[in-house]
Homo-oligomer: A and B are copies of this chain.
């Protein structure tokens, strides 16, 4: 998504040029290109798919909507398996229209994880529940902190459900370092993602994720927390940013690699 202006073919070439060996993919471009064709394209280029983004949206109350969501998530698991990644990132979903019941919505996520976890584990895929910044609590993700995500994940085996740690979502939270340690001790850090925090936030607050080094987050500090918690997996840079999307994608990828080296590696 950081360079969504690139086609998958262009992305694969640009990764090779920039020395990037792993890539997190999103479902929409993968499905547009064909899941199997994408798997072949990426494999032939020697690239690893780090994660598939994203499943989730488990908070509907209506039984039909819940069944459809679970169906879609099983498809996402199948796609992840086909792409050869062991991790499906989940965005839990917001409050259903008219609802003010955060607790109930969080409980419905647990119900969905209970159904999806064994299905995923049977296909070699782990679910990574991603707490999103509290500014998304009503319309996108009622799971706002690592503590909440772990409270949900720990109801299930770690090989079924863990968490995604994303600097953009947790950087403000002084309890997050302890929660990262908790997640690491349980083998539940299923991916680690980077974005910087820049202001002013744009309308709708979806496309304001800042380039590494441009914002308020001490990236290396957070990298230190996940490393101390035993995480040795890939580090993903995930930027949704209209300014970056408007530029040449290869240039943005190269810049991102430079920023990663400067601020994280």
Name A's B-contacting residues (CB within 8 A): 95, 99-103, 106, 133-135, 137-139, 144-145, 147-148, 171-175, 197, 199-205, 215-218, 221
Q: If the complex has contacts A201-B201, A205-B205, are A102 and B174 also in contact, measured as CB distance less than 8 A?
A: yes
Q: If the complex has contacts A173-B144, A218-B100, are A199 and B139 also in contact, measured as CB distance less than 8 A?
A: yes
A207–B46 alpha-carbon span in the complex (Å): 48
Pick from B106, B137, B199: contact of A138, CB below 8 A. Answer: B199
User: A197 — which chain B residues lie within 8 A by C-beta?
Assistant: 137-138
> A interface, by DSSP: helix, strand, loop or mixed?
loop
User: A221 — which chain B residues lie within 8 A by C-beta?
Assistant: 100
Copies in the complex: 2
Pick from B134, B202, B204, B218: contact of A172, CB below 8 A. Answer: B134
Q: List 10 A-B contacts (CB under 8 A).
A: A99-B216, A101-B218, A135-B201, A135-B205, A138-B199, A139-B200, A200-B203, A200-B204, A201-B203, A205-B205
A137 and B172 form a contact (CB under 8 A)? yes
User: A106 — which chain B residues lie within 8 A by C-beta?
Assistant: 174
Q: Taking the nearest CB of chain B, how far is it from the CB of A14, in angstroms?
A: 29
A147–B172 alpha-carbon span in the complex (Å): 13
Which residue on B lies nearest to A98, using beta carbons?
B216
Q: Taking the nearest CB of chain B, how far is it from the CB of A1, in angstroms?
A: 20
A216–B103 alpha-carbon span in the complex (Å): 13
A203–B216 alpha-carbon span in the complex (Å): 18
Which residue on B lies nearest to A135, using beta carbons?
B135
A185–B133 alpha-carbon span in the complex (Å): 29
Q: Taking the nearest CB of chain B, how far is it from the CB of A98, in angstroms?
A: 10
